[in-house]
Amino acid sequence: MTPNGSPQWHTVSVDEVLQHLEATPSTGLSEQEVERRRSQYGSNELAEEPGRSLWSMIWGQISEPLILVLIVAGLISGLMGEIVDTFVILAIVILNAVLGVVQENKAEQSLAALKKLSAPEARVIRDGHTRQIPASQLVPGDIILLEAGASVPADARLIEAVNLKCEEAALTGESVPVDKTVDPVVEEKVGLGDMVNMVFSSTTVTYGRAKAVVTATGMNTQIGKIADLLQTTEQETTPLQRKLAELGKVLSWLALGLVVVIFFAGLLRNEPPFEMFMTSIGLAVAAIPEGLPAIVTIVLALGVQRMIKRNAIIRKLPAVETLGTATVIASDKTGTLTQNEMTVARMYVEGQHIDVTGNGYEPKGDFSIAGKELGAEDKAALELVLTAGALANDAHLEKGETGYDMIGDPTEGALVVAAEKFGLTAPELNGTWPRIAELPFDSKRKRMTTFHRVPAESKFAPVIGTEVVAFTKGGPDVLLSLCDRIYRNGEIVPLTEDEKAALLDVNLQMAGDALRVLAMAFRPWDQVPGSEDLTFETVETNLIFLGFAGMIDPPRPEEKLAVKQAKQAGIRPIMVTGDHKATAVAIGQELGIIEPGDAVISGPELDAMSDDELREKIKRTGVFARVSPEHKVRIVEALKANNQVVAMTGDGVNDAPALKRADIGAAMGITGTDVSKQAADMVLTDDNFATIVSAVEEGRTIYANIQRAIQYLLSCNVGEIITIFSAIMLGLGRPLTAIQILWVNLVTDGLPALALGVEPPEAGIMDRPPRDPKAGVFSGGVGKRIALQGLMVGGLTLIGYYWALSTRGDMTLARTVAFGVLAFSQLVHSFNMRTSSQPLLKAGIFGNKWLNWAVVASAFLQIIVMTVPAFESIFDTVTLGWKEFQVVALLAIMPFVLVESVKWITTSKEA
């Protein structure tokens, strides 16, 4: 919301805005004030359409055509005097509806939780500290920080802006980024596109950085005023869910045809018409696994929740299925394969290698040359290099409760920490060398330049010789090409081409030691160039070279195992990095991504290749070095042209096209920009390559579990159909009544199928090749197993029914036996579904606790209706004798014996 009585924010000065909102740019709001304003203005969220009501969920469950037919059949049964049957049928319908509503509600809650987890965040200053908070917690008066790649979290008035450009197409339709300024706009009535001192919620920062004060939140933002356009999006369904919906329609038509066939078959066998009508309707309802869509949704949602615990947030459900088919993971190096705690390990200044000790971001360490302390001259030269690196820098170090945290880019952070080890603290440097202008870093230039006022008392003032200095840091090869002088022995002297070549050799040597090298330079200026001359081409030329800083970002300890696991799973890991080729190769070989002799392609080499050449070369390439984000799109395209299923990581604004183009876009949760997260299918909350491999394992497990649930439900339904149809065609009468069919369907379908959906990963699931993305849910022999297992369940039920009918001559007793065999054999059969090929006796029969409890609960209910006399008239059963119970138990256990035998035989042959 926006404060009452607000002025036209774009027309007033920065001071007036801050005064009206009672905001202080340096310290921001206090937590107490934030709470007060949140109670006044509410959360920074758009109003959403309410979810489905309880009644709409219930109606959705009972309005299915076959359920309505069943209700009508129950009412007809009542009119014909079968009151008990009517109540039982309606009770089963109600129980089905309750279970369906519970499942649907659970699915909606799970998906809502995922939506919250992927909500945008904001960088805000509160109580004098910079924090990362959910954007929903912003209030008017908050001071927010913006940088390239960030989504603007609320409407805000700019109070500081450095080369800021924003993409506002969502609001204005203007595709060209808008240049922003802090100056007031004179006219009150102007369009949003002309409010150049304002930034608006849900737009994107494409360039530069800024500080702004929030003026409106929630529905009072500009995007909030058109929120109805954002609330019309439909819930995304996965390809699997769509396939199953189509399967449900096919099964519905088959069930209707089955009703007609079985009904007339019964009439030909002189079965009572009404009984045959009820039996046919009951069988048709049982033949359709109406709970399957809800079960699939819940399995997907629960699987995604498990992924969250393993640091992977799935933003788009189709990614869950795609993960199981991934054949390539193209990963960044820094922070993904490595620890993302860059540490300056070596400096090169005035022809000498200076070793730096210390780990991570703790500013403790020493500087030495060949194990000896630095002399006075060495310290002076090193101080200027460290000063340049710390000032041409947007990162800052904060001490937290458990250690030091780096806010900003880890590479820049390493320079800040190195300077602090030398005694040059960031607050002191920024105070004595105030920044007055800058050219921000971007991935195309691979460098950054900042202008500073030179302190008169500085020891370097005589050398610089002007009141203003520009410090530049960037990639060594790029920056050296812009230098024509060098700082040496306290003087500025010309830099020859031979010296440049020697410096490049030093750079290669450092990179070969797996160091990431940055170069520092400076240039004196009489004054900051005017806005027209403040360009890369004008400023970043005729530079004076200072030295190199070599940083190490060691591989994460778990990545070597993750790479090995990926390869075992048939997934090829590829490193895509902006680092120098030698550094990338060193890390790639250490992790096992490449072997000596494997192909490595650099960015310039990639530029020189045609698409066809790249498509062929990429088959044998494990590392891409010195690449820009734009190159990632070509890499993805080449891999996909080779029929690979590609998972691609990224964190920057320019990574968004590659993330979208990849089959699975994985954005970095820590270092990633909002733009990259919005473009991605999943977010890695720990920026870790091992997390992608874990997510692939979860994706494979989720899909396998869904196949288990489908196989179980359909094989049981086929068994019921075979039992009824075969008995009638053989002239054995109706082996089950309509109520018995409906009860078995209710008891055996829901809980066990859902429990199979949370089955732990099967042993060896990451030793198999990726699943073919074109393969259907019945692939891999699932369709054949459904038919054979359905025949098994139906055959065993028929055996029990025929035995009781032929030996006892009592139709009610025979139906009771069939009723028991059908229910208990299906429950036993659910354990067969836990593994596809491995014998369950090896894997552990009771390894899924949820299935154990589901079977126990379902079996308990079945035993009650078969043994409690009060239920005999309802379910048309009789109390079984000891002999009959033995037969039921023997036949019910046979699915486990038969399927386990097949698994043992199959695995023995494979061995």
> Which residues are the active-site residues?
332
Please write down the HEC assignment for all residues of 395-413: CEEEECCCCEEEECCHHHH
Q: Taking the C-alpha atoms of 801, 803, 805 and 808 in order, what is their torsion angle to the nearest 10 degrees?
A: -130
| Under 8 Å between Cβ of 332 and 361 | no
- CA-derived radius of gyration, the chain: 35
* Residue among 789, 820, 804, 787 nearest 888 (CA): 820
Q: How far apart are CA 800 and CA 546, in angstroms?
A: 90
Q: Could you tell me the CA-to-CA distances from 746 to 100, 272, 297, 740 in Å, in that order? A: 11, 25, 19, 10
Q: How far apart are CA 141 and CA 139, in angstroms?
A: 6
Residue 380 CB partners (closer than 8 Å, separation 6+): 459, 490
Based on the number of CB atoms within 10 Å of its own CB, is 45 exposed (0-12), middle (13-18) or buried (19 or more)? middle
| Under 8 Å between Cβ of 390 and 361 | no
* 524 DSSP 8-state letter: E
| Under 8 Å between Cβ of 160 and 210 | yes
Q: Could you tell me the CA-to-CA distances from 410 to 362, 393, 746 in Å, in that order? A: 13, 11, 57
Q: Which amino acid is at 68?
A: L
* Residue among 819, 795, 665, 678 nearest 735 (CA): 819
Which pair of structure tokens corresponds to residue 518?
A: 């940055």
* Residue among 654, 650, 710, 653 nearest 681 (CA): 650
Q: How far apart are CA 590 and CA 58, in angstroms?
A: 58
| Under 8 Å between Cβ of 587 and 556 | no
| Under 8 Å between Cβ of 756 and 833 | yes
* Residue among 416, 422, 545 nearest 478 (CA): 545
Q: Within the chain, how many helices (H) and strands (E) appear? A: 33, 28
**Other residues' Cβ atoms within 10 Å of the Cβ of residue 779:** 12
| Sole residue written with tokens 């190096």 | 333
Which pair of structure tokens corresponds to residue 122?
A: 């904001």
